[in-house]
Amino acid sequence: MMTKRHALVFGTLGLILVLVSRMPSVYAQNLQSSQGSFFSPQVQANADPREMSLDLYIAVTRNAPTEAIALRLGDLITLYRYRCTRVTDYQMFLKRPNLLDMKVKCSGNPLYGVTIGSNGYVAVYGGNGMVASLDRRDAIIYSFTGDGSLDRDSRLTPEEALEESMARLKLGNDYNATYMAIMILGAIAIVVVGVFSWIRLWKNRKRTIKSQVTPTQATGRSHLKDRMWDESHEVVKWINYHPAGIYISVGKRGKRRLFGHQFTAALYAKYNWKVFEFSQARVAKLMKTFDEKTADYSETNE
């Protein structure tokens, strides 16, 4: 016979079995209620991310109202289980072939990044500070009020653009007119010096090759250089200065060249670069002037 103790045990087991059998239905009800509070009715009616991405891509490319685009962005972010009570700002950050990158700001949350494609591709990321802040210099920023209507955008009228440019000029942080003027003048100076140097090199280029120099001319040049070398004094190693205003430089191959500046003479002595080398006619003219001055000086002393 069943005693009271047996009845109590069987009754407890039956109650446990009933509770265990009802747990899946209770969990499902709780999950459904939580999803109902998390998703908006629009998301529940259309929970296909691909289709929502296509709708959003078409709305953006066909210049739909910004309020409608903001609603679709909020639903798409919510579909990926990110918190987005309402969209307060968004920006079309980057347009690529068949892809659009957008920055979205939801109320009380860091920025989200949303990428959509013409083939239904969609990616939602951010919400943790990884997306950089909105910058008006990247693209237009659309801002919305609490009821979802467009409040303002970051576009500037010509008057506002002029005022902002003048303010930046006064502050001098982002743009410095003096610095820019100096940079432009420096670039012009470099170009002018380069053109002038090229013209000088072209005018003073060697018009004849060594094979065209006769032995008599070569001997005359050598004697003139010997005389100038004897009358000159050493400035630095391999470079002598003649009182006629001529620098005599000895190159790596032992050849002597005549220049008007110590810098160009040093270039020849070290690198064999013949920059602004004196021609034979110019040397003869300078030496003639030097001889005349020397003769006058000697006559005066006598």
Q: What is the span of the domain harbouring residue 291? A: 214-301
Do β-strands 239-242 and 246-250 pair in parallel, antiparallel, or remain unpaired?
antiparallel
Regarding whether 95 and 113 lie in a shared domain, the answer is yes
What's the pLDDT score for residue 191?
93
Regarding whether 176 and 151 lie in a shared domain, the answer is no
- Residue 4 domain-assigned (yes or no): no
pLDDT band with cut points at 50, 70 and 90 for residue 193: very high
Higher pLDDT, 218 or 74: 74
Rounded to whole angstroms, the Cα distance separating 239 from 23 reads 104
- Residue 291 domain-assigned (yes or no): yes
Residue 291, judged by CB atoms within 10 A of its CB (0-12, 13-18, 19+), counts as: exposed
Number of domain units in the chain: 3
pLDDT at 74 over 70: yes
pLDDT at 154 over 60: yes
Task: Quote the tokens at residue 109.
Answer: 């949350």
Average pLDDT, the chain: 77
pLDDT at 42 over 60: no
Higher pLDDT, 299 or 120: 120
Please say whether the beta carbons of 55 and 115 come within 8 A: no
Mean pLDDT of 136-144: 86
Phi-psi region of 127 (alpha: psi -120 to 50; beta: other; left: phi over 0): left
Regarding whether 233 and 281 lie in a shared domain, the answer is yes
pLDDT band with cut points at 50, 70 and 90 for residue 192: very high
For the ranges 25-29, 66-70, 214-218, 235-239, the lowest mean pLDDT is seen at 25-29
Residue 72, judged by CB atoms within 10 A of its CB (0-12, 13-18, 19+), counts as: buried
What's the pLDDT score for residue 212?
46
pLDDT at 15 over 60: yes
**Block residue for tokens 């939602």:** 124
What's the pLDDT score for residue 180?
79
Regarding whether 143 and 127 lie in a shared domain, the answer is yes
Mean pLDDT of 170-188: 74
pLDDT at 299 over 60: yes
Percent share of the chain, pLDDT over 90: 17
- Residue 11 domain-assigned (yes or no): no
What's the pLDDT score for residue 150?
80
pLDDT at 209 over 80: no
Rounded to whole angstroms, the Cα distance separating 161 from 181 reads 22
Give the number of residues written for the chain.
302
Task: Quote the tokens at residue 282.
Answer: 């110019």
Mean pLDDT of 8-20: 63
Regarding whether 247 and 173 lie in a shared domain, the answer is no
- Residue 6 domain-assigned (yes or no): no
Regarding whether 229 and 151 lie in a shared domain, the answer is no
Regarding whether 48 and 133 lie in a shared domain, the answer is yes
pLDDT band with cut points at 50, 70 and 90 for residue 26: very low
Phi-psi region of 238 (alpha: psi -120 to 50; beta: other; left: phi over 0): left
- Enter the pTM of the model: 0.41
- Residue 205 domain-assigned (yes or no): no
